[in-house]
Amino acid sequence: MLAELTLRDRLTARVLLFDPLGRILLMKGRLPNRPPSSAAWFTVGGGVEEGESLAQGALREIIEETGFTQVELGPVVWTREGEGVLVSGERVLFKESYIVARCAGGEPSREGWADYETDLIDDIRWWTLDELARTTERVYPERFGELIGAVASGLYPEGPIEITVVRVAS
């Protein structure tokens, strides 16, 4: 009998970053060793480093991935857990917290991107809610289209909503 593998938890700050026009900034990329056709749109964010709070990690990720330094953080509105693989190849349990943030907008900068981000991220741009509703491209997390409208209009849940999608084996 095989022993069950215990994965390391990876606290992850995902940021729902809005500009004054109500647009949300999303990045398009793929996982390591996956073809460009597997790419999906997803929020700014990444792993929280040792000694950082969730808010500190979110602010650092915003600066690194967008160059925006004047940001106002709001609440955590969603949480999600799922297994995944880091660029290093390590399998981890991502424990994602989706934090609302607002900034002045503008053109994001790629200056702070690590080499692997440059290799795996194909695009970064602002989206209106109408554009998101019409797109046929994949947007991550799975329930993004269903939930983003309320958050964009400032209607936040009392506490974070768990949005993990449970897959049932058939």
Residue 81 falls within a domain, yes or no? yes
84, amino acid identity: G
Residue 74 falls within a domain, yes or no? yes
Mean per-residue pLDDT over the chain, rounded:
91
Residues 80-131 have pLDDT tens digits of 999 988 888 899 999 999 999 999 999 999 998 888 888 888 999 999 999 9
Residue 167 falls within a domain, yes or no? no
pLDDT for 159 equals 96
* Residues 59, 57: Cα–Cα separation, whole Å: 6
Extract the runs of DSSP E, i.e. beta strands, from 86-143.
91-103, 121-127
Asked whether 96 and 12 are in contact (CB, 8 A), the reply is yes
Residue 168 falls within a domain, yes or no? no
Split into its structural domains, the chain has a count of 1
Residue 3 falls within a domain, yes or no? no
Residue 128 falls within a domain, yes or no? yes
Q: Which domain holds residue 139?
A: 8-162
Instruction: Say which CATH number the domain at 109 has.
Output: 3.90.79.10
Residue 43 falls within a domain, yes or no? yes
Count CB atoms within 10 A of the CB of residue 96: 22
pLDDT for 168 equals 53
Residue 170 falls within a domain, yes or no? no
pTM of the model: 0.91
